[in-house]
């Protein structure tokens, strides 16, 4: 019997030891920087953990806008702003490599028609031809 939706949702839980407060900064032209400030479960700043800087941008594709998210190596907001361009370029290049790898994997997959292989017991005529997607 399939699980009820309510049962699956009740299993979701957050890690109280790994909470962050998000601050969002944008120049309204190029992109956005999310500053992830570590906090305790009470919401107070957690000085034991480092602040994270995450850049966001969009890449236009034939299928529409593709969101890009990338970490920015920085220790302050000013440094994150200065490093945004290089981090965005790295994120774009990584995304392009990932897309090319997905295309390569899709092109190398073999598709066998549903008719089955010709000559095998129960096989339908016309089956067995290998088709590339």
- Residues 62-82 have pLDDT tens digits of 888 889 999 999 999 999 999
Residue 92 lies in a domain: yes
Residue 126 lies in a domain: no
Residue 49 lies in a domain: yes
Q: What is the pTM of this model?
A: 0.69
The whole-number average pLDDT for the span 81-102 is 94
- In sequence order, what are the residues at sequence separation of 6 or more whose Cβ sits closer than 8 angstroms to the Cβ of residue 65? 58, 59
Residue 32 lies in a domain: yes
Q: Residue 38 sits in which domain range?
A: 16-108
Residue 123 lies in a domain: no
Residue 107's pLDDT band, with cuts at 50, 70 and 90, is confident
């Amino acid at each position: 019997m399939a699980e009820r939706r309510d049962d699956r949702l009740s299993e979701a839980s957050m890690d109280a030891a790994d909470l962050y407060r998000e601050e969002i900064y944008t120049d309204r032209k190029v992109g956005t920087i999310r500053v992830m400030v570590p906090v305790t479960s009470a919401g107070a700043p957690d000085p034991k953990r480092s602040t994270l800087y995450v850049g966001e941008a969009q890449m236009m594709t034939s299928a529409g806008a593709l969101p890009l998210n990338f970490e920015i190596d920085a220790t302050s907001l000013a440094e994150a702003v200065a490093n945004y361009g290089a981090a965005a370029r790295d994120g774009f290049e990584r995304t392009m490599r990932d897309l090319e790898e997905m295309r390569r994997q899709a092109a190398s997959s073999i598709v066998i028609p549903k008719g089955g292989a010709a000559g095998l017991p129960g096989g339908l005529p016309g089956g067995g031809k290998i088709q590339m997607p």
